[in-house]
């Protein structure tokens, strides 16, 4: 702005501005007295007059991107600009008239001085762009973090309420949680994450009605996926008894699945499921009967859970996250009353706990649905309204396209969760199984607690990246991804430091056995290593979902699964520790820590591979790919 204003005042025909200066401006800035809007992806064409829009540059090295100014007089001037030699070449920008080059050194010096001032201004604008990305990520991420915290508290409330019923009920509930995670939540919730790609990109592209259509489609696809899960759970008691579980625990575990099924985010929901083997291993097979009954009672809740998750993602793509947080908080605050009345006052025991879980899920779903109805009515008639009513043509179409992203997303989540389930199982194979399983449970619990923050950050980054790519702004998407990763590294470093200092005290809150606490303290270095890479991967996964690259994520997670599980097994059971004892770091690890070291190695490999792949991305090409996909889909299906 400063350059053009001075150029007009001096009636100069041309000023010299470094290309890198112009290309780093914000997307849109006002230029009083000169033009109405300047777009950062535009430059003046030196061969264009005040009334001509179709013209070409005479400068041979400016060749790649088309750029425009929009002047108040109506002039739209364009040229082709190259991003090569940005810091060495000077691009001529014309205010009016012809193209004479400066005839003397003084004029050139004046123009270069103007350019230097512009460079300083635009460097400041670049910093502001990153600050805007940071602000948007935090605006979304902080409420999501509190939502996850409330969800975790809800899970704790459920566990405490069931634990007061009795030890067999608690064992059955833990067994049920594991079955729920492995056979239901990981797969169905993975399918719903395709919404983050479609809704986020559609909102960025200002294709607002598409969000409502995607919501309808996602609900149908996910509910269809719930049907075989429900059939499996209805027969869970005989299945668990067949594999050696006690009938009583199998029945109770079946009911207890709702502790996770209350619609929690993946990491929170997984915590209780991963801890199952710590309690269930070695129990009398009669517990399987209770677990199976509990699972069967939880069947309605899985449908409510996925509906809640889909509605949250529908709002999140629009930058609306407070309703989800409030609904989860309401369910958390009401949960003690539900459990007290149904479990203790009415004496329904584990059956009452299952009903209480359902009421918690109904509370969340009702709260979010109520907000969506209000928001839909509030936006009625607006061009930005995202709900156009139920459309069978939209709901029952594009299932193949949805599953193209949903199935890889399902594999991403399932493979990651299964690693933890198998690791806990390996803890039970160690010589001192009781202590090892307890430490495994502590490890998973603390890692889950720390994971809530980067998981929220990943969801926020996903929204920012998908919105930016949908609008065709690859540079903004890149900024959001980089800022998210930078924040993740900072937060993870702080949490790892805190865990290293206070890890033993935190383990003492969860466990009471001094031997278990001491063993957990010796496992803390591995937990810190795992925490860092696991949290970093949460943000990388958000970038993948936002850019629609779930296929890459599924392949990388699959490769890491093939590394983590064999590594854990080898380190814990096959390695010759008379030889390995001389290996730095590994040699001093306890057997239970070796299991988690293998998991950590897989997480680190995942981060390294994904970062290597993303560093090669051309974000402008990513944006063009997304825009082409949105346009092609709209044309192919006539807007549905």
pLDDT value of position 169: 72
Instruction: Kindly write down the DSSP assignment for every residue of 259-301, as one continuous string.
Output: HHHTT--HHHHHHHHHTHHHHHTT--BTHHHHHHHHHHHTHHH
CA distance 626 to 301: 35
- Split into its structural domains, the chain has a count of 2
Domain match, 352 and 404 both: yes
Domain match, 273 and 352 both: yes
- Residue 266 vs residue 189, higher pLDDT: 189
Number of residues assigned to the chain: 640
Per-residue pLDDT of 99-111, as tens digits, reads 344 445 554 445 4
In a domain, 630, yes or no: no
In a domain, 54, yes or no: yes
In a domain, 351, yes or no: yes
- Please give the share of the chain, as a percent, with pLDDT higher than 70: 67
Least confidently predicted of 56-65, 252-261, 393-402, 529-538 = 56-65
Domain match, 34 and 59 both: yes
pLDDT of 406 > 90? The answer is: yes
Per-residue pLDDT of 32-84, as tens digits, reads 433 433 333 333 333 344 333 334 333 333 333 333 333 333 343 333 334 44
Domain match, 114 and 169 both: no
Domain match, 42 and 142 both: no
pLDDT value of position 156: 78
Domain match, 57 and 105 both: yes
Per-residue pLDDT of 483-518, as tens digits, reads 999 999 999 999 999 999 998 898 888 777 888 889
Domain match, 256 and 343 both: yes
Element (H, E) at 65: strand 65-71
Domain match, 386 and 518 both: yes
Q: Which domain holds residue 557?
A: 132-620
Domain match, 190 and 56 both: no
Q: Which of 85, 120, 155 is the last residue of a domain?
A: 120
Task: Round the average pLDDT of the chain to a whole number and report it.
Answer: 75
Instruction: Kindly write down the DSSP assignment for every residue of 432-467, as one continuous string.
Output: SHHHHHHHHHHHHHHHHHHHHHHHHHHHHHHHHHHH
Q: Which of 120, 144, 169 is the last residue of a domain?
A: 120
pLDDT value of position 286: 62
CA distance 24 to 26: 7
Q: Which of 120, 148, 170 is the last residue of a domain?
A: 120
**Non-local CB neighbours of 503 within 8 Å, separated by 6+ positions:** 446, 520, 521, 524, 527, 528
In a domain, 636, yes or no: no
- Residue 435 vs residue 258, higher pLDDT: 435
In a domain, 80, yes or no: yes
DSSP SS3 for 478: helix
Cβ-contact 483, 542 below 8 angstroms: no
Order of strands, sheet of 76-81, starting from the edge strand that comes earlier in the sequence: 28-31, 35-39, 65-71, 76-81
pLDDT value of position 316: 95
For the chain, percent helix, then strand, then coil, each to nearest 5? 75, 5, 20
């Amino acid at each position: 702005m400063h350059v053009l204003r001075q150029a007009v005042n001096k009636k100069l025909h041309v000023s010299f501005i470094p290309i890198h200066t112009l290309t780093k401006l914000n997307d849109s800035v006002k230029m009083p007295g000169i033009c109405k809007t300047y777009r950062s992806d535009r430059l003046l064409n030196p061969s264009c007059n005040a009334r001509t829009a179709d013209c070409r540059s005479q400068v041979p090295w400016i060749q790649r991107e088309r750029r425009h100014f929009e002047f108040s007089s109506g002039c739209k001037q364009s040229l082709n600009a190259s991003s090569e030699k940005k810091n060495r070449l000077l691009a001529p920008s014309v205010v009016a008239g012809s193209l004479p080059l400066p005839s003397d050194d003084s004029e050139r010096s004046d123009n270069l001085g103007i350019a230097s001032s512009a460079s300083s201004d635009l460097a400041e604008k670049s910093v502001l762009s990153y600050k805007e990305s940071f602000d948007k990520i935090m605006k979304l991420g902080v409420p999501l973090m509190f939502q996850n915290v409330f969800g975790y508290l809800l899970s704790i409330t459920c566990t405490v309420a069931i634990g007061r019923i009795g030890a067999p009920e608690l064992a059955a509930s833990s067994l049920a949680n594991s079955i729920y995670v492995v056979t239901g939540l990981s797969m169905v919730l993975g399918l719903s994450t395709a919404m983050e790609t479609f809704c986020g990109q559609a909102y960025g592209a200002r294709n607002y009605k598409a969000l409502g259509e995607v919501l309808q489609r996602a609900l149908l696809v996910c509910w269809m996926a719930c049907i075989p899960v429900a059939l499996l759970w209805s027969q869970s008691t005989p299945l668990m008894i067949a594999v050696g579980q006690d009938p009583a625990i199998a029945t109770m575990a079946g009911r207890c699945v709702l502790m996770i099924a209350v619609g929690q985010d993946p990491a929170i929901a997984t915590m209780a499921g991963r801890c199952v083997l710590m309690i269930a291993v070695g129990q009398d097979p009669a517990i399987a009967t209770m677990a199976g009954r509990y699972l069967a009672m939880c069947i309605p809740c899985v449908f409510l859970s996925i509906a809640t998750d889909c509605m949250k993602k529908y709002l999140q793509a629009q930058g609306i996250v407070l309703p989800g947080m409030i609904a989860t908080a309401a369910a958390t605050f009401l949960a003690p009353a539900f459990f007290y009345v149904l479990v203790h006052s009415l004496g329904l025991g584990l059956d009452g706990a299952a009903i209480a879980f359902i009421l918690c899920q109904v509370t969340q779903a009702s709260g979010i649905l109520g907000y969506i109805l209000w928001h839909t009515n509030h936006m009625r008639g607006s061009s930005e309204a995202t709900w156009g009513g139920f459309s069978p043509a939209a709901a029952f179409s594009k299932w193949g396209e949805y599953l193209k992203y949903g199935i890889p997303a399902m594999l991403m989540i399932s493979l990651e969760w299964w690693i933890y389930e198998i690791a806990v199982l390996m803890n039970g194979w160690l010589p001192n199984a009781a202590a090892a399983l307890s430490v495994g449970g502590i490890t998973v619990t603390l890692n889950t607690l720390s994971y809530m923050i980067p998981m929220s950050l990943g969801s926020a980054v996903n929204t920012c990246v998908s919105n930016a790519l949908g609008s065709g702004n690859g540079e903004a998407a890149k900024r959001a991804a980089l800022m998210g990763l930078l924040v993740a590294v900072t937060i993870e470093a702080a949490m790892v430091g805190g865990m290293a200092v206070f890890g033993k005290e935190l383990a003492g809150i969860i466990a009471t056995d001094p031997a278990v606490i001491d063993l957990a303290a010796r496992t803390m270095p591995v937990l810190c290593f795992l925490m860092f890479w696991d949290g970093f991967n949460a943000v990388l996964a958000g970038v993948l979902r936002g850019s629609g690259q779930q296929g890459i994520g599924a392949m990388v997670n699959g490769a890491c699964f093939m590394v983590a599980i064999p590594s854990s097994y080898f380190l814990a059971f096959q390695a010759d520790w008379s030889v390995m004892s001389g290996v730095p770091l590994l040699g001093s690890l306890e057997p239970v820590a070796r299991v988690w070291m293998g998991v950590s190695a897989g997480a680190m490999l995942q981060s390294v591979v994904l970062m290597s792949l993303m560093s090669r991305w051309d974000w402008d090409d990513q944006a063009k790919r997304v825009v082409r996909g949105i346009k092609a889909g709209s044309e192919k299906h006539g807007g549905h």
